[in-house]
Amino acid sequence: MLIGDYLDGVVARIDTIAGLTVTTDPALAVAPPMAVVTDSGVSYDAAFGRGQDNIDLTVTVYISRGDSLTALEESRLYMSGHGAKSIRAALETSTGGSDTIPNKTLRAESASTDSNTDASGAGFVVLTVRATGLIPGKE
């Protein structure tokens, strides 16, 4: 499986969260709530030469502009391990028949909340989720 196809599968899983825009394009103008999925590294041949590769992923969720209690409370919903807005639950749950990611091969590892600014200098409350996945070998 190609890395781009795997990322598209990750986007499809996160896109099950109502009201959250999801993309793999970090150059898009930020319009919260919005998640940007990026790959941050690949380790080749994770399955002892059988072609399966580990991929490190970062999901950056722009919660809202500014730094408010409401934004922090919202970030906790996305950070939770379960629930309708849980990034972890979305990553680790198959979406069904059209899911391109093999079941139980994608795992959220950590999450943290911070503030961030975009290119225009606007401030955002941001949740960063780090995950790892196993990309299947050649088809």
Q: How much is the pLDDT for 65?
A: 80
Domain boundaries, the chain: 3-134
Smallest CA-to-CA distance from 82 within 112, 108, 102 is with 108
Identify the CATH assignment for 3-134 out of 1.10.357, 2.60.40, 3.30.70, 1.10.8: 3.30.70
- Is the pLDDT at 74 greater than 80? The verdict is yes
12: part of which helix (H) or strand (E)? helix 3-14
How many other C-beta atoms are found inside a 10 Å radius of the C-beta of residue 130? 14
Question: pLDDT (tens digit, 9 = 90+) per residue, 97-119?
Answer: 778 887 788 999 999 988 776 66
Q: What is the pLDDT of residue 67?
A: 67
Instruction: Please say whether the beta carbons of 33 and 63 come within 8 A.
Output: yes
The three-state secondary structure class of 55 is strand
Say if residue 139's pLDDT is above 60: no
The model's pLDDT over 3-57, given as tens digits with 9 standing for 90+, comes to 888 999 999 999 999 999 999 987 778 889 999 999 988 888 755 656 688 899 9
